[in-house]
Amino acid sequence: MLAYGLMPSDPTDATVHPLVLSSLTGRLAVWSARHGRLVLGVWLAVFVVAVFLALQIGAVVSAGEMTLLGRPESVRGQELLNEAFGSAEGEQETIVVSTENGTTVDDPAYQQFLQVLTADLVAARDVVVEAYSYPLVAAFDPESANALVSADRQSTLVQVSLRGDGAQAEGGPAGPDGQERLAEILDSHRTPAFTLTMIGDGSVGETFMTIAEEDLIRAELVGLPAAMGVLVLVFGALLAAGLSLGLAAVSIVTAIGLAALIGRVFDLSFFVVNMISMIGLAVGIDYALLIIERYREERNAGRASLEAIGVTGATASRAVLFSGVTVILALLGLFLVPITTFRSLGLGATLVVGVGVVAMLTLVPAALGLLGNRIDWLSLNRLRRSPRPAAKPDPRGERADEGGQKAPGQPYSGFWGRTAHWVMVRPVVSVILAGGVLLLLAQPFLQLERGAAGAETLPPGEARDAYQLLEEDFSAGALSPVEVALRPANAEARSAIERLPASLAAVPGFSQPRLEWAGSGEVARLTLYLEARPNSEQARLAVEDLRQETLPAALAGSAVEAYVTGKTAAEVDSFAVIGSYTPWVFAFVLGLSFLLLLVVFRSVVVPLKAIFMNLLSVGAAYGVLVMVFQRGWGAELLGFQRTPAVEAWVPLFLFCILFGLSMDYHVFLLSRIREHFDRTGRNQESVAVGLRATGRIITGAAAIMVVVFGTFASGRLVMMQQVGFGLAVAVFLDATLVRSVLVPATMALLGDINWYLPRWLRWLPDLRPEALVLPRVAVPALEAGSGVRATAAEGE
């Protein structure tokens, strides 16, 4: 590390070379450095407004995880029911009342307790539409009443309908006020003799939101210090590390504020905040790390502060810009899927990456211009290296790289230089070994099962306890019954509908069919209770059979419109939507990534290789997810839940995120390789120079990402475990096997073919990072024995 005290720190102390100003990002960096206080003032104002908006994010997000934005059958059915029966009725909550003292529901004291509880629930007219329990139902329908009682008659169900908008097929929370009011009523009736637990789509959704918020705080408390530790190891200075972390925090808060603003117009999933924090920490720190380290490298090469900022802007900031655009393009694929989860997570990640890029292009140069040499304040290295002398001319005619740092014979020095040399000397072996490992890890992906997490995946608590009681003494299917919206066209069709409960009574997978007509008599609702978990594969198969076989056969020859809806039906539709849109998302992401890399690196080979290698790392991440979560290999050791399936939205989401992040590193590495190749025309040497220049930074950045994603994976929600773990595994594989082995090996195998661009494509704009070859700045020397800085002289 250079003794920075010898270098000028005023950003106006040097004239910037015209080559730097020929780059848009270079000019922006110089302008930001010269107007540092103005830039910081603008960002401070943005930050204050963002904090105000971010504090309101909880009011605009919802617990609906997979709400469909199109109009599949489940949505059309729910709309018809809302229109006919009214939308005042929101989600259903089930209260499980149980006792362990041997008292049964036939005991007068038990029935009196139920009657008082039900009366108090009905009295809460501001949040409750209706409530009924065993004594009330038994008075006019004993057979239906027995369905509310367990086999040992010591447990019973109290069904409550809450007020809500009723607009979503899957159901969403009626609001925190309704849930809190219901919880207060239950608390007032808790006695040692009876156990009361509540479960329903609303209460489960609220539990998911609460746990997500708690896990987010925990992840930040663990992840921030861990990321700080990695940054200190990379930079060797506390201020530089703290600046990177602070810049990431600014991006996160600003993105959350923007999400809160957008959430006033569009529905957003509560996962959006977790996604902004996770991606913002990982990407924001990485971008700041790349830029600040490049600035220090340029200062170490002897450049004045302002010119070092300009060179950094024209190279590292330019790479960050194209990298961020690549990530955003990959994330745009998520907006193609008409489901709130994808659009919410895509929006959150896009916002934080976009804000991060803007901050890196303006706020970082401004901070560097104001800090100057103080960027290395609180350095952990007491003994700093002396400034490097200017490099001697290359006898082979090679121009010095980046101010003369890399003289002849040096590209293969150091750990990364030797690694590149070893790999490129054995390219075939390297490709076979690294590619073979990735293909082996990807193999389990062929057995990937898609599913949806339910209350059974929640950590111990009231919601999970109620679910277990419901499953043991009744049926988990009672939690989310299937509903069929029926509209007859004539009297004959109405008669066919009236016969449905009897004809469906013996249908496997369902029980207790109940038919009711709307007040107008134009629409009927058939309610069926599932015998399996609502989110299980058996339940989804039962719904598909009901749609495709049972209902068409029962209503054959009658003019009846029938729409199967409910939570399970919505899951069936959402899985179908994901499956139908997946090829389009893949084509969109791969196509745009290819076009962007084609323009940036002016090569058709580099984008094709990048896409193939990124698909390998994504496939390997999928395979590891299957091994850990579905097969349970190491799940207990890692603190994860073993699940029968991977969350349905996770694979496609991971593809977009991972493809963007993988391209991130690819752009960083290939930008340095292309810079050197444009100067020298020597392919293998350029690969070694690029890997040596970026190896430590990419490794540090990857370590930060792994730490951040790992802390989010340590949460209690299984879907966040899968997302965080999948991202961490993919980034680790990408930074090791792909960037350190496959990239240099394939570059060596293909040689100059790497940079092949057909003649008919040479009209494309040249957006390559400029190969800046600037005059060196002579390092000021100390007068002998004086300890006083001599005058700095600039020379060619």
Closest CA to 54 of 243, 349, 223, 262: 262
Q: Mind listing the pLDDT tens digit for each residue in 666-699?
A: 777 887 788 788 778 888 888 888 888 888 888 8
Between the ranges 205-209, 229-233, 330-334, where is the mean pLDDT highest? 330-334
Q: Given pLDDT bands bounded at 50, 70 and 90, which one contains residue 1?
A: very low
Q: Given pLDDT bands bounded at 50, 70 and 90, which one contains residue 651?
A: very high
Q: What's the burial of 18, exposed, middle or buried (CB within 10 Å: 0-12/13-18/19+)?
A: exposed
Q: Could you give the CA distance from residue 400 to residue 406 in angstroms, rounded to a whole number? A: 6
Q: 681: left (phi > 0), else alpha (psi -120 to 50), else beta?
A: left
Element housing 488 (H / E)? strand 482-488
Q: Given pLDDT bands bounded at 50, 70 and 90, which one contains residue 3?
A: very low
The residues near 751 (Cβ < 8 Å, ≥ 6 apart) are 683, 684
CB contact at 8 A, 643 and 629 = yes
Q: Could you give the CA distance from residue 126 to residue 695 in angstroms, rounded to a whole number? A: 62
Per-residue pLDDT at 416: 81
**Rounded mean pLDDT of 632-651?**
88
Per-residue pLDDT at 254: 95
Q: Quote the DSSP letter at residue 648.
A: T
In sequence order, the β-bridge partners of residue 94 are 159, 199
- Using DSSP bridges, classify how beta strands 61-62 and 155-163 pair: parallel, antiparallel or unpaired: unpaired
**What per-residue string of b and e applies to 554-564 under the rule 16 or more CB within 10 Å gives b?**
bbeebebebbb
Per-residue pLDDT at 774: 54
Q: Could you give the CA distance from residue 670 to residue 675 in angstroms, rounded to a whole number? A: 8
Per-residue pLDDT at 136: 83
Q: Where are the alpha helices (DSSP H) in 160-270?
A: 176-188, 201-235, 238-262
Per-residue pLDDT at 770: 47
Q: What share of the chain is helix, strand, coil (3-state, %, to 5)?
A: 65, 10, 25
Q: Could you give the CA distance from residue 364 to residue 344 in angstroms, rounded to a whole number? A: 28
Element housing 636 (H / E)? helix 635-638
What is the percentage of the chain residues whose pLDDT exceeds 70?
Answer: 86
DSSP letter string, 442-456: HGGGGG--EE---GG
**Rounded mean pLDDT of 542-570?**
89
Higher pLDDT, 392 or 73: 73
Per-residue pLDDT at 41: 94
**Rounded mean pLDDT of 711-718?**
86
**Rounded mean pLDDT of 435-449?**
93
Residue carrying structure tokens 């290819």: 594
**Rounded mean pLDDT of 486-510?**
86
Residue carrying structure tokens 């609303």: 202
**Rounded mean pLDDT of 732-757?**
88
Q: Mind listing the pLDDT tens digit for each residue in 20-57?
A: 777 788 889 999 999 999 999 999 999 999 999 988 88
Q: Could you give the CA distance from residue 322 to residue 327 in angstroms, rounded to a whole number? A: 9
396 has pLDDT over 60:
no
Between the ranges 87-96, 382-391, 520-529, where is the mean pLDDT highest? 520-529
Per-residue pLDDT at 145: 77
Per-residue pLDDT at 379: 66
11 has pLDDT over 60:
no
pTM here is 0.79
Q: Could you give the CA distance from residue 298 to residue 563 in angstroms, rounded to a whole number? A: 66
Per-residue pLDDT at 256: 93
Per-residue pLDDT at 547: 92
**Rounded mean pLDDT of 512-537?**
84
8 has pLDDT over 60:
no
Three-state secondary structure along 564-595? Answer: EECHHHHHHHHHHHHHHHHHHHHHHHHHHHHH
Please count the other Cβ atoms lying within 10 Å of the Cβ belonging to residue 637.
8
Per-residue pLDDT at 40: 94
Mean pLDDT of the chain: 80
Q: Could you give the CA distance from residue 158 to residue 49 in angstroms, rounded to a whole number? A: 46
Q: What 3-state class would DSSP assign to 715?
A: coil
Q: What's the burial of 363, exposed, middle or buried (CB within 10 Å: 0-12/13-18/19+)?
A: buried
Per-residue pLDDT at 622: 94
Element housing 530 (H / E)? strand 524-530
Per-residue pLDDT at 406: 40
Q: Mind listing the pLDDT tens digit for each residue in 169-198?
A: 333 444 456 677 888 888 888 888 888 888
Per-residue pLDDT at 227: 82
Q: Mind listing the pLDDT tens digit for each residue in 57-111?
A: 877 776 555 677 778 898 899 889 888 877 645 677 888 888 877 888 888 888 8
Higher pLDDT, 463 or 328: 328
Q: Could you give the CA distance from residue 658 to residue 726 in angstroms, rounded to a whole number? A: 9
Per-residue pLDDT at 485: 92
Q: Could you give the CA distance from residue 163 to residue 281 in angstroms, rounded to a whole number? A: 39
Per-residue pLDDT at 50: 93
Q: Mind listing the pLDDT tens digit for each residue in 127-148?
A: 888 888 888 888 777 777 777 8
Per-residue pLDDT at 14: 52
Element housing 9 (H / E)? none
